């Protein structure tokens, strides 16, 4: 029994039918050879592992193939049986010279080629020089080569391969027929790997194969090497966890939970999941890149696209993330994308990843621009609707969820807060990172009465069912008392969000009267005042709506003071 042959070698294509993902190239070459318009020199370019040298060898064989009966003409379908085909395949043909320019960059190396190129081929139809990584040649070597390319001999062909076409002098390029080898699309790579796994009797999980294909970044060779490694590690059973471990990825489940935590606004959970993943050996940059993949997949689900090769458990978690909606996922993507670029340059990638997650958590609960726009005209309509519903919503709920023993354990460690109004509650939520709860209270809760440990509220339409119990839990955890939350009759009292919005409208109309604002509106026809940021607000985001008006006065005064400076800037 011969020794094991690695997959990348065993499945190296020996003709264009088995070369995957390069249909355009094959078509062009076939046409050129059929019309007898084959150039004297070619340059094959593309990222590593897409099959440049493989293609070069297939071309060399095709040009020299004589067919099993020795009478065939050159074609792009070498028979792989005739003498020339077999000797070229094994790398022993005297007329086919392969050279790696990466290790032979000098003029002397190229001179040998140039000198021998004037002689006719010994036995083949064409003498063929394959020069890999041609961009590595020295300037002198290129110049010497150029002379040969300018006066090509009928029976000589040059095939250059390069990963960096821009480094090849234009004088050379202009004398070559150029072929761009494409990166292999992920789906094609997945199919290819799956087929080979079946032939090789390697058991694979679809998600594992997909991850291998992703990791190979469009390179068939790399993907096969990875499949080799994974099947060795897993004793012919390639599971997702084996591939994840091998690639230094955090587990898909952990990453899904991580993204979910970020979108839910749970900073503590997000940071602890990140730490676990990093401790387990995952690279911070890789984690962020994986989070981007998940965001992308969730967005596809949110736009009703089908995802293939995904297990039910992953599908379910992705669907939960998809529920956050496309605008939020798109924003999440933007933040991750920017953060990913930063992490690559960061001296401490883990710290950088932590900061990125914090940014993600703190932007997640903010309404997206379209949500804000949607809410504005609806406010008054909502009020009318809730009022008319009030008669059949006369239910009183009392929620007591956290057990007393659980609470007393927590009480020791937490500073206690006194709650006098809704803003107190929201502030404590925000301090503790419970941003979703804070945002839900702002949006859905109308406070009817608050006298510790009783709080009576009513909820606006669309409030989450578990909101009262979450409020109870939060209040219990932050005070010595057992709170009772009553959900009462709908009231006309505004939510915090409505209060803010009313105040904002007042401020906007006030602001539009300011001379500077008037001037701006005149200068930019169609412009609208959409926001007023006071100096106090920008320092402290939690300023209450009632204080905004007085802030505005201060800031308008400051605005007055700033006007001359602005005018100076104009000059
Ligand atoms: Zn042949």
Q: Is residue 65 part of a domain?
A: yes
* CATH number (domain holding residue 240): 1.10.8.60
Does a cis peptide bond (omega within 30 degrees of 0) precede residue 411?
Answer: no
State how beta strands 41-45 and 454-459 pair.
unpaired
CA 78–ligand 1 middle distance (angstroms): 5
Q: Is residue 1 part of a domain?
A: no
- Whether 130 and 158 map to the same domain: the answer is yes
- Whether 488 and 503 map to the same domain: the answer is no
Which pair of tokens denotes residue 236?
Answer: 């012919």
Q: Which of 15, 105, 80 is nearest to 54 (CA)?
A: 15
- SS3 category, 386: helix
CA 40–ligand 1 middle distance (angstroms): 21
Q: Which domain holds residue 508?
A: 497-570
End-to-end CA gap in the chain: 86
For residue 116, give Cα distances in angstroms to 95, 110, 120, 142, 147: 10, 10, 9, 17, 14
- Whether 215 and 323 map to the same domain: the answer is no
Interior CA angle at 300 toward 294 and 301, to 5°?
90
Q: Is residue 317 part of a domain?
A: yes
CA 223–ligand 1 middle distance (angstroms): 29
Q: Is residue 127 part of a domain?
A: yes
CA 84–ligand 1 middle distance (angstroms): 6
CA-CA distance, 115 to 113, in Å (whole number)?
Answer: 5
CA-CA distance, 538 to 559, in Å (whole number)?
Answer: 15
CA-CA distance, 493 to 49, in Å (whole number)?
Answer: 66
Q: Is residue 264 part of a domain?
A: yes
CA-CA distance, 327 to 369, in Å (whole number)?
Answer: 9
CA-CA distance, 349 to 283, in Å (whole number)?
Answer: 8
CA 191–ligand 1 middle distance (angstroms): 29
CA 10–ligand 1 middle distance (angstroms): 19
CA 180–ligand 1 middle distance (angstroms): 25
Q: Which of 386, 364, 380, 366 is nearest to 501 (CA)?
A: 380
Domain end point (choices 335, 363, 391): 363
- Whether 20 and 164 map to the same domain: the answer is yes
Q: Tell how far CA 263 is from the center of its chain.
A: 16
CA 9–ligand 1 middle distance (angstroms): 20
- Whether 29 and 139 map to the same domain: the answer is yes
Reduced 3-state DSSP string for 277-331: HHHCCCCHHHHHHHHHHHHHHHHHHHCCCCCCCCCHHHHHHHHHHHCCCHHHHHH
CA-CA distance, 571 to 568, in Å (whole number)?
Answer: 5
CA 91–ligand 1 middle distance (angstroms): 14
CA 62–ligand 1 middle distance (angstroms): 7
CA-CA distance, 488 to 53, in Å (whole number)?
Answer: 76
CA 70–ligand 1 middle distance (angstroms): 8
CA 57–ligand 1 middle distance (angstroms): 12
Q: Would you put residue 266 in left (φ > 0), alpha (ψ -120 to 50) or beta? A: beta
Q: Tell how far CA 120 is from the center of its chain.
A: 54
CA 82–ligand 1 middle distance (angstroms): 4
397, 486 contact by CB (below 8 A) = yes
CA 160–ligand 1 middle distance (angstroms): 22
CA 349–ligand 1 middle distance (angstroms): 54
CA 15–ligand 1 middle distance (angstroms): 10
Residue 144 buriedness (CB in 10 A; 0-12 / 13-18 / 19+) = middle
CA 24–ligand 1 middle distance (angstroms): 23
| φ, ψ dihedrals at 180, nearest 5° | -95, 120
CA 23–ligand 1 middle distance (angstroms): 21
Q: Which of 15, 52, 13 is nearest to 161 (CA)?
A: 52
**Residue 365: its pLDDT value, please?**
66
Q: Tell how far CA 283 is from the center of its chain.
A: 15
- Whether 51 and 167 map to the same domain: the answer is yes
For residue 283, give Cα distances in angstroms to 271, 288, 339, 533: 15, 9, 14, 40
CA 66–ligand 1 middle distance (angstroms): 5
- Whether 130 and 155 map to the same domain: the answer is yes
Place of tokens 């001379």: 515
CA 75–ligand 1 middle distance (angstroms): 9
CA 63–ligand 1 middle distance (angstroms): 9
CA-CA distance, 42 to 156, in Å (whole number)?
Answer: 12
CA 259–ligand 1 middle distance (angstroms): 55
- Specify the DSSP element, H or E, that contains 457: strand 454-459
- Whether 267 and 348 map to the same domain: the answer is yes
**Residue 34: its pLDDT value, please?**
83
| φ, ψ dihedrals at 166, nearest 5° | -65, -20
* CATH number (domain holding residue 154): 3.40.50.300
Q: Is residue 393 part of a domain?
A: yes
Task: Write out the chain's pLDDT in tens, 571 residues.
Answer: 457 889 988 998 888 888 888 888 888 888 888 887 888 899 999 888 888 989 999 999 999 999 999 888 888 889 999 999 999 988 889 999 988 888 877 777 788 888 888 888 999 999 999 999 999 888 888 988 888 888 888 889 999 999 888 899 999 999 999 998 888 888 899 999 999 999 999 999 998 999 899 888 788 888 999 999 999 998 989 999 899 888 877 788 889 999 999 998 888 889 999 998 888 778 899 899 999 999 998 998 888 887 766 777 788 889 999 998 888 888 899 899 989 988 888 888 899 999 999 888 887 766 666 666 666 655 444 444 444 444 333 333 333 333 333 333 444 444 567 888 888 898 888 877 777 888 889 888 998 888 888 888 888 888 888 898 889 888 888 887 788 888 877 777 888 888 888 887 887 787 777 766 776 676 666 677 776 665 444 444 444 444 444 544 444 444 433 333 333 333 3
CA 126–ligand 1 middle distance (angstroms): 13
CA 28–ligand 1 middle distance (angstroms): 20
CA 500–ligand 1 middle distance (angstroms): 80
480, 513 contact by CB (below 8 A) = no
284, 250 contact by CB (below 8 A) = no
- Whether 441 and 476 map to the same domain: the answer is yes
CA 100–ligand 1 middle distance (angstroms): 25
- Specify the DSSP element, H or E, that contains 467: helix 467-477
* CATH number (domain holding residue 329): 1.20.272.10
CA 11–ligand 1 middle distance (angstroms): 19
CA 225–ligand 1 middle distance (angstroms): 29
- Whether 108 and 96 map to the same domain: the answer is yes
CA-CA distance, 76 to 91, in Å (whole number)?
Answer: 19
CA 58–ligand 1 middle distance (angstroms): 10
Taking every pair of Cα atoms in the chain, the longest distance, rounded to a whole number of angstroms, is: 102
Domain end point (choices 247, 267, 289): 247
Burial call 354-387: b when 16+ CB within 10 Å, e when fewer = bebbeebbbbbbeebeeeeeeeeeeeeeeeeebe
CA 221–ligand 1 middle distance (angstroms): 25
CA 232–ligand 1 middle distance (angstroms): 35
CA 134–ligand 1 middle distance (angstroms): 27
CA 131–ligand 1 middle distance (angstroms): 22
Q: Is residue 2 part of a domain?
A: no
CA 80–ligand 1 middle distance (angstroms): 5
Q: Is residue 200 part of a domain?
A: yes
CA-CA distance, 329 to 335, in Å (whole number)?
Answer: 10
Q: What global pTM score does this model have?
A: 0.52
Looking at the 3D structure of the chain, how many domains does it have?
A: 5
**Residue 544: its pLDDT value, please?**
45
- Whether 20 and 108 map to the same domain: the answer is yes
Over its C-alpha atoms, the chain yields an Rg (Å, rounded) of: 34
- Whether 111 and 228 map to the same domain: the answer is no
Reduced 3-state DSSP string for 242-256: HHHHHHCCCCHHHHH
Domain end point (choices 315, 345, 363): 363
């Amino acid at each position: 029994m011969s020794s094991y042959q690695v997959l990348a070698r065993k499945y190296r294509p020996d003709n264009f039918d088995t070369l995957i993902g390069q249909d355009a190239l094959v078509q062009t070459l076939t046409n050129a050879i059929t019309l007898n318009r084959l150039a004297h020199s070619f340059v094959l370019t593309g990222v590593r592992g897409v099959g440049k040298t493989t293609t070069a060898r297939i071309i060399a064989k095709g040009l020299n193939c004589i067919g099993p009966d020795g009478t065939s003409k050159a074609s792009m379908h070498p028979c792989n049986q005739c003498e020339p085909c077999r000797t070229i395949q094994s790398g022993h043909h005297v007329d086919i010279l392969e050279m790696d320019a990466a290790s032979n960059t000098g003029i002397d190396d190229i001179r040998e080629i140039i000198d021998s190129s004037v002689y006719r081929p010994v036995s083949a139809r064409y003498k063929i020089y394959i020069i890999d990584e041609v961009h590595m040649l020295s300037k002198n070597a290129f110049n010497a080569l150029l002379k040969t390319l300018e006066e090509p001999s009928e029976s000589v062909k040059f095939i250059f391969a390069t990963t960096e076409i821009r480094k090849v002098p234009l004088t050379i390029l202009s004398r070559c027929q150029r072929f761009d080898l494409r990166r292999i699309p992920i789906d094609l790579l997945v199919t290819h790997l799956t087929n080979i796994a079946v032939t090789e009797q390697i058991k694979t999980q679809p998600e594992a194969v997909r991850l291998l294909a992703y990791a190979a970044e469009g390179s068939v060779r790399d993907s096969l090497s990875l499949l080799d490694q994974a099947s060795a590690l897993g004793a012919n059973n390639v599971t997702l966890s084996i591939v994840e471990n091998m690639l230094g990825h955090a587990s898909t489940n952990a990453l899904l939970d991580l993204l979910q935590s970020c979108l839910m606004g749970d900073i503590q959970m997000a940071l602890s999941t990140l730490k676990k993943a990093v401790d387990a050996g995952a690279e911070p940059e890789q984690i962020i890149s994986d989070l981007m993949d998940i965001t992308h997949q969730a967005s596809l689900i949110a736009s009703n696209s089908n995802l293939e090769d995904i297990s039910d458990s992953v599908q379910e978690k992705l669907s939960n993330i998809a529920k956050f909606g496309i605008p939020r996922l798109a924003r999440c993507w933007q933040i991750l994308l920017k953060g990913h670029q930063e992490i690559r340059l960061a001296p401490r990638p883990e710290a950088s990843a932590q900061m990125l997650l914090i940014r993600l958590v703190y932007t997640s609960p903010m309404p997206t621009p379209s949500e804000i726009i949607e809410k504005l005209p609806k406010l008054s309509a909502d009020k009318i609707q809730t009022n008319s519903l009030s008669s059949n919503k006369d239910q009183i709920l009392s929620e007591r969820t956290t057990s007393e023993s659980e609470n007393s354990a927590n009480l020791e460690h937490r500073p206690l807060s006194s709650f006098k109004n809704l803003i107190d509650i929201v502030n404590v939520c925000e301090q503790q990172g419970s941003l979703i709860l804070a945002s839900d209270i702002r949006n859905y809760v109308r406070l009817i009465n608050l006298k510790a440990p009783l709080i009576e509220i009513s909820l606006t339409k669309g409030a989450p069912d578990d909101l009262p119990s979450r409020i109870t839990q939060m209040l219990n955890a932050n005070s010595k008392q057992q709170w009772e939350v009553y959900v009462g009759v709908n009231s006309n009292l505004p939510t915090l969000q409505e209060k803010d919005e009313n105040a904002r409208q007042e401020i906007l109309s006030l602001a539009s009267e300011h001379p500077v604002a008037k001037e701006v509106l005149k200068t930019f026809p169609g412009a609208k005042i959409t926001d007023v940021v006071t100096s106090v607000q920008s320092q402290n985001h939690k300023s209450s709506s009632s204080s905004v008006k007085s802030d505005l006065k201060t800031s308008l005064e400051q605005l007055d003071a700033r006007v001359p400076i602005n005018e100076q800037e104009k000059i």
